Amino acid sequence: MSDQTPPRSSYHHGDLRAQLIDAVRDLVETHGPDGFSVAEAARRAGVSSAAPYKHFRDRPALLRAVASEGMDRLRSAMEAARASHPPGSIAAIAAIGQAYVDFARSGPGVFRLVFGLTEGHEEDPHLEEKGFGCFAVVLQAVAAVLGKSLDDPMVQSRAYTLWTCVHGHSFLIIDRKTKGKFEMADEWGFLMQVTASIIGAE
Amino acid sequence: MSDQTPPRSSYHHGDLRAQLIDAVRDLVETHGPDGFSVAEAARRAGVSSAAPYKHFRDRPALLRAVASEGMDRLRSAMEAARASHPPGSIAAIAAIGQAYVDFARSGPGVFRLVFGLTEGHEEDPHLEEKGFGCFAVVLQAVAAVLGKSLDDPMVQSRAYTLWTCVHGHSFLIIDRKTKGKFEMADEWGFLMQVTASIIGAE
DNA sequence: CTTGCAAAGTAAGCACCGCTAACTTAAGTA
DNA sequence: TACTTAAGTTAGCGGTGCTTACTTTGCAAG
């Protein structure tokens, strides 16, 4: 919608790779991860349908690039959220969760792409590591609250449980499973309460 | 793999609709929800590529039928799990969760289809209702434990929180996000603990 | 028993897609 | 300035979703 074929002057595009990623992110958001086509992305970048294959091996590779970029944004958001609250506080953890949910809500397509084991994810350990990097943010915050080390089993367990809740909540929201019957009035309150009840459990 | 074009004698197939759904479930499981093609499903049923459109309006409709059938199986499994434990017990709730996770693990493709807002889900309130029907199973179990009515806000809130955990856990498993770093040793113990800590929270 | 109709199959074909191959343009370096 | 090579191009193959027009068949009314 925004940059529909700005007819370039030079034969070489110059910034195709980045522009393709932008276009794909847009398409994934509007048509879903499987509704996107590399041909359409090429069209948006004002380039022939074969051009993308000079920059990406195949369709999954292009999607993986978008997912990777999404992971980076997610991690940044989580870290920023944590930093905006006192270290070692419950609120810091809840804020990470809020950032996670906000990320999902503001870009369901990319969120589904990031977590979702789409085609050909296997051969990308890079992406997997970034995922663990995100989890590490939660892990650190939980360790700080409990006053234990990162690899303490209790820290791992509590952090994982929290992750499942936030992850599940995010999916239920973007998949509209709560529509009508279950509108969340005070999401921050929900996150705080869940965090407290899971962290404080024995 | 199982029924590859059993060359039928009669012109009319006789059982195409059901056989298509079977084929699609298989394909979704092996190639993912977006990797499936109605042409391939038709091939498996030993029928021309146009035949499916006599039974389903379009591709999404076919997928929706598979999702709907999956919902039914999920609900049955959840109800059976609940029935196999004393009413009003924590274990009954955990068992529902276990059934949910097992369903996801035994059929990730269909699970992703059932929860996942694939193309054209909107125009199917039928499916939506079935989803709430599944949630109702959890709701009843939670109400039984807390000794309150179904529409009590606390029941709703606790049930939803439990749902987010189990839902998130399921997704993290089938998306392999726990691989290596986070193998769950005792899943039943995990579910029991989570249930207890969420149900017992103030 | 025949007839006629609607349901359920077919083949042919359009537009689009992913991807490849062979070619062309242009930018940078020896 | 000549060569190499990255980054574009067009053309085209096979597969896909879906439609159209046609054919076969089961069934129900007369």
The pLDDT tens digits of the residues spanning B18-73 come to 999 999 999 999 998 888 999 999 999 999 999 999 999 999 999 999 999 999 99
Predicted confidence band of residue B192 (pLDDT cuts 50, 70, 90): very high
Residues A143, A78 share a domain? yes
Do the domain assignments include residue A25?
Answer: yes
pLDDT at A149: 97
pLDDT at A6 over 60: no
**Which chain A residue lies closest to B112 (C-alpha atoms)?**
A116
Residues A125, A90 share a domain? yes
Q: Which residues of A touch B177 (CB under 8 A)?
A: 115, 131
**In this structure, what is the dihedral angle of CA atoms B71, B72, B78, B81, given to the nearest 10 degrees?**
-150
Predicted confidence band of residue B1 (pLDDT cuts 50, 70, 90): very low
Domain holding A31, by residue range, is 1-56
Residue A45 belongs to domain with CATH number:
1.10.10
Q: Is B6 left (phi over 0), alpha (psi -120 to 50) or beta?
A: beta
Residue B165 belongs to domain with CATH number:
1.10.357.10
Residues A128, A38 share a domain? no
pLDDT at B92: 98
The span from the CA of B18 to the CA of B100, in Å, is: 25
Q: Which residues of A touch B32 (CB under 8 A)?
A: 118-119
Do the domain assignments include residue B61?
Answer: no
CB contact under 8 A, B167 and A166: no
Residues A78, A32 share a domain? no
What average pLDDT does range A86-93 have in this prediction? Answer: 96
Residues B156, B121 share a domain? yes
Q: Any chain A CB within 8 A of the CB of B49?
A: no
- What's the distance, CA B175 to chain centroid? 15
Do the domain assignments include residue B109?
Answer: yes
Domain-ending residue, one of B34, B56, B78: B56
pLDDT at B7 over 70: no
A41 CB inside 7 Å of strand D: no
Nucleotides in chain C near protein beta carbons (<7 Å): 7-13, 16-22, 25-27
pLDDT at B182 over 90: no
Locate tokens 């929860």: which residue?
A: B115
* B89 min Cα distance to partner chain A (Å): 19
Do the domain assignments include residue B63?
Answer: no
Residues B186, B115 share a domain? yes
Residues A89, A46 share a domain? no
**For chain A, what is the domain count?**
2
Q: Which residues of A touch B116 (CB under 8 A)?
A: 112, 175
**What are residue B109's phi and psi, to 5 degrees?**
-60, -50
Residue A178 · residue A184 · CB < 8 Å: yes
Domain-ending residue, one of B56, B78, B101: B56
Residues B26, B102 share a domain? no
CB atoms within 10 A of CB B82: 21
Average pLDDT, chain B: 90
CB contact under 8 A, B165 and A160: no
A9-38 pLDDT tens trace:
666 677 899 999 999 999 999 998 888 999
Residues B104, B160 share a domain? yes
The span from the CA of B193 to the CA of B181, in Å, is: 21
A174 CB inside 7 Å of strand D: no
B7: nearest Cα among B40, B36, B38, B43: B43
Side chain identity, residue B69: E
